[in-house]
Amino acid sequence: MNEQNLIIRLKNGDLSALEALMKLHQNYVFTVALRMVKKKEPAEEITQDVFIKVYKKINSYKERSKFTTWLFTIVYRTCLNYLDKKQIVYSESSLKSCLNESKVDRSLSGLQQKKSYSPRDEYFGQIENISSLEFDLQEILWKAIDQLSYQQGVIITLYYIQQFSVSEISEIMQTPSNTIKTQLHRGRNNLKEVLLKKYTLEELI
């Protein structure tokens, strides 16, 4: 079903269109929310809240910008509100302390070796179609990204998962394009540092 048709149907109050839109975007919304709030349950709650807001506010969406830009603006603001309420503050400086902690090494513990507990159960649920090596790579990457500040984590997620351009991310986060570019650059640098603690980049690529 065409996304544009779904939006028209949703504007007419059709709930089945909301369900279809959710199927299309919920994993992406959840992934971005998870970068910001860092925990599965609140990220799921935020995902629900986002789609409730979409349902209520769909008439305020004008086709001037992409639907996903509008959607992820809601996601970003909902997450910020959540963090404000919980008074959670992540800062750039937290990265350095994270890098020095042994939990980074523990969280990135090996490509081949697998154990009884894995946060992948929490994050990924059951994924059948991805090979185990690829699966591990996803886990390693997401855990490494979660060591970054939430701003860098969100920018990287929007850029690589949702494939937004820098200007679209700038619109979503209400931040100048050059700041987004700088954060993207530093995010990659920080990620490299986190990954190089355990692997060579060639090994992962």
Partner 1 sequence: MTEHLNELEIEKYIEKGRNALSSTKALHLEGCEKCRKLIEEQLQVHSLLKKLQPQKVAKNLFQQMQNKLSIMPQKVKKDWTFVIALILLLFIGVSILVTKQTPESAIKQKQNIELPDLLQENIQKVNWEEILKQTYSWFNMYLLKFLLENKNLVLIFFSLFVIMFYHLVDKRYAKYLFK
Residues 17-56 that bind partner 1 (CB under 8 A): 18-19, 22-23, 26-31, 34, 44, 47-48, 51-52, 55-56
Q: Does 13 bind partner 1 (CB under 8 A)?
A: yes
**Interface with partner 1 (CB under 8 A), residue from 38, 77, 181, 198:** 181
**Cα distance between residue 145 and residue 188, in whole Å:** 9
Q: Does 2 bind partner 1 (CB under 8 A)?
A: no
**Cα distance between residue 43 and residue 143, in whole Å:** 16
Q: Which is nearer to partner 1, 47 or 87 (CB)?
A: 47
**Cα distance between residue 193 and residue 94, in whole Å:** 14
Answer whether 179's CB lies under 8 Å from 69's CB: no
Q: Does 127 bind partner 1 (CB under 8 A)?
A: yes
Q: How many residues bind partner 1 (CB under 8 A)?
A: 56
Side-chain half-sphere exposure of 4, counting CA atoms within 13 A? 4
Answer whether 69's CB lies under 8 Å from 62's CB: no
Q: Does 14 bind partner 1 (CB under 8 A)?
A: yes
Q: Does 205 bind partner 1 (CB under 8 A)?
A: yes
DSSP 127-181: --SS-HHHHHHHHHHHHHHTTS-HHHHHHHHHHHTS---HHHHHHHHT--HHHHH
**Interface with partner 1 (CB under 8 A), residue from 66, 114, 185, 197:** 185
- Binding interface with partner 1 (CB under 8 A): 11, 13-16, 18-19, 22-23, 26-31, 34, 44, 47-48, 51-52, 55-56, 58-59, 123-125, 127, 130, 134, 137-138, 141-142, 156-157, 159-161, 166, 178, 181-182, 184-186, 188-189, 191-192, 195, 201-202, 204-205
